[in-house]
Amino acid sequence: MLKLLSVLTFLTLTLPFLTHSFSPDHPTDRRILVLLDDLALKSSHSLFFKSLQSRGFELDFKLADDPKISLQRYGLYSYDALILFSPSVDRFGGSIDLAAILDFVDSGHDLIIAADTNASDLIRQIAVECGVDFDEDPAAVVIDHTSYAVSDTEGDHTVIASDDFIKSDVILGSKKIEAPVLFQGIGHTVNSENSLVLKVLSASPSAYSANPKSKLSNPPSLTGSAISLVSVVQARNNARVLISGSLSLFSNRFFRSKVQKAGSPKKHEKSANEQFLTELSKWVFHERGHLKAVNVRHHKVGEADEPAIYRINDDLEYSVEIYEWHGKSWEPYVADDVQVQFYMMSPYVLKTLSTDQKGSYFTAFKVPDVYGVFQFKVEYQRLGYTSLSLSKQIPVRPFRHNEYERFIPAAYPYYGAAFSMMAGFFIFTVVHLYSK
């Protein structure tokens, strides 16, 4: 009886956990480790945390130098994502260090980093590894004298009202962000050769990154819209990273604050920080923009089964179904730019797939007259979506000896010659034998 009870408790305790944890079929993160400099952040940034908790995330708050923290136990990760709200930490407690965090991301987990003025070298290093360079001057902050947030109490124009968002519905949601986002912190640049980093929130052309208290003699290293305020990275393994130069971006104070951008007469009752970060965190934690492809099929026209080999010049049909994860269920993905390649060393055929608007994509084409080992390849990379990389190998053979054309009109004289010869031979045998 007791045994049964314990089994039951075990099941009731672990079942919801098992069904909700991260898996390829359920790509949303569940368990998030939040590392804080100070537990007071839990209350000063509670609106952000609450929005995560209300969406079903389990947040585990720890001090960044807590000696007991670790990301793995017995080789398994105990968390699906990590939030670093500890800009000043020089060294994490427990077994977490730079390499551990990079391994965590390399194994497909997500990360949110918030830096701030006086960000520690460790936080800067993590950002550099993600392809983002914060301004090296520790006292520098982003200043903008033409698009700051108008305020009666903050006169140094370091609270920036920015509305230069990336144009991507999948990253920022389909609802337009009307109000500007408040930002106060340090700027960064994204490495131009790194194609995985995207600027989500950029500074205005008049912004610059400098120490507001000292006079400028040299041009600042970061200026204009090259300054990124918030960036995201989607690694090749679809791990997503959010990097912000401001911790107060996430704070209740900015979430609730009224905004008026300098030079604009429009006063917004609420800044867009809440909408911006809610939508962005949906993206980072894989509630949106996660694609999967199933039912990859190909066959000859008029047949249903997948052949083991194609002959050159065969007509074939190719189809694939693509679904997008919507936090709770897989919905058909609708786009008109999915392309398939028929590939051997280089694409021989590259064709845009037609769609039935219900997630199914299909096309038909003729196999090239080159034999060898080909691949059907779908390399689908779109801004904000996880990349799809499908490949299926298929050999292509030439004609068999009996598959060539049989009766060629141009050869009729030859055929005729042979038959007339045969007829002549027959007559000759008769004549030769019996003629007197």
Partner 1 sequence: MATRNLGGFLVLILAIAICEAASVFQPISDSHRSAGSELFTANDGSFGSLEEAYEALRSFEILGIDKKSDIRTATCQSVVDKLGSSSSAPKDLFYALKVNSILKCKVNDKIFEGIAARLKAIANTASSLLDFYHSIGSLVLIKDQSSEVDVLLADAGGIFHSIKSLSQSDGRWRFSSDNPESSTYAAGLALEALSGVVSLASSEIDQSKIGTLKSDILKLFDSVEKYDDGAMYFDEKVVDLRERQSPLSTTASVVRGLTAFAAVTSGNIKVPGDKILGLAKFFLGIGIPGNAKDFFNQVDSLASLESNKVAIPLILSLPATVLSLTKKDRLQVKVNTVLGSSAPPLTVKLVRALSSGSKVASTIESQELKFDRESESHFLDVPKSVDVGNYIFVFEVVLHDSEDEKVYATGGSTQVQIFVTGVIKIENAEIVVLDSDVGSIETQKKLDLAGENSLALSANHLQKLRLSFQLTTPFGNAFKPHQVFLKLRHETKVEHIFVVGKSGKKFEIILDFLGLVEKFYYLSGSYDIQLTVGDAVMENSFFRAIGYIDLDLPEAPEKASRPPTPAIDPYSKYGPKAEISHIFRVPEKRPSQELSLIFLGLVFLPLIGFLVGLLRLGVNLKNFPTSALPATFGILFHVGIAAVLLLYVLFWLKLDLFTTLKWVGLLGVFLLFVGHRILSHQASTSAKLKSA
Q: Which of residues 165-204 bind partner 1 (CB under 8 A)?
A: 166-167, 184, 190, 192-193, 195, 198-199, 204
11 near partner 1, rule: CB under 8 A: no
| Binding pattern for the stretch 46-65 against partner 1, x by CB under 8 A and - elsewhere | xx-xx------------x-x
Dihedral, CA atoms, 391, 109, 239, 181, nearest 10 degrees? 150
SS3 content of the chain, % helix, strand, coil (to 5): 25, 35, 45
Query: What x/- string results for residues 370 through 399 when contact with partner 1 is judged by CB under 8 A?
Result: x----------xxx----------------
**Amino acid identity of 369?**
D
Output DSSP code: residue 353.
P
Length of the chain: 436
Judged by DSSP in three states, 52 sits in helix
3-state DSSP assignment of residue 301: coil
Closer to partner 1 at the Cβ: 111 or 378? 378
- Interacting positions 300-359 with partner 1 (CB under 8 A): 313, 337, 339, 341-342, 347-352
**Which span sits near partner 1 by CB under 8 A: 94-102, 265-273, 326-334, 365-373?**
365-373
Q: Which is nearer to partner 1, 22 or 41 (CB)?
A: 41
What is the spatial distance between Cα 172 and Cα 64, in angstroms, rounded to a whole number?
29
* DSSP type of residue 382: -
7 binds partner 1 (CB under 8 A): no
We find the least distance from the C-beta atom of residue 79 to partner 1, in angstroms, to be 20
Answer whether 182's CB lies under 8 Å from 273's CB: yes
- Find where tokens 């299909």 sit: 362
Site string for partner 1, 203-242 (x = CB under 8 A): -xxx-x-x-x--xxxxxx--xx-x----------------
Question: Is the CB of 74 or the CB of 407 nearer to partner 1?
Answer: 407
- How many CB atoms lie under 10 A from the CB of residue 398? 12
Closest separation between CB of residue 135 and partner 1, Å?
15
Q: Which is nearer to partner 1, 22 or 247 (CB)?
A: 247
Can you tell me the distance from the alpha carbon of 34 to that of 238, in angstroms, rounded to the nearest whole number?
Answer: 21
Shortest distance, position 170 Cβ to partner 1, whole Å: 11
**252-311 binders of partner 1 (CB under 8 A):** 252-253, 256
Instruction: Residue 281: name the closest of 59, 63, 38, 120 by CA.
Output: 59
- Which one of 12-20, 268-276, 278-286, 404-412 is the stretch in contact with partner 1 (CB under 8 A)? 404-412
CA-angle at 140, arms to 137 and 142, nearest 5°: 135
Among 156, 178, 303, 356, binds partner 1 (CB under 8 A): 156
Return the closest-CA partner of residue 189 out of 137, 140, 144, 228. 228
Work out whether 152 is an interface residue with partner 1 (CB under 8 A): yes
**Binding residues for partner 1 restricted to 113-132, rule: CB under 8 A:** 116-118
**Binding segment (CB under 8 A) for partner 1, from list 24-32, 138-146, 264-272, 301-309:** 138-146
Measured distance CA(139)–CA(232) in Å, rounded: 24
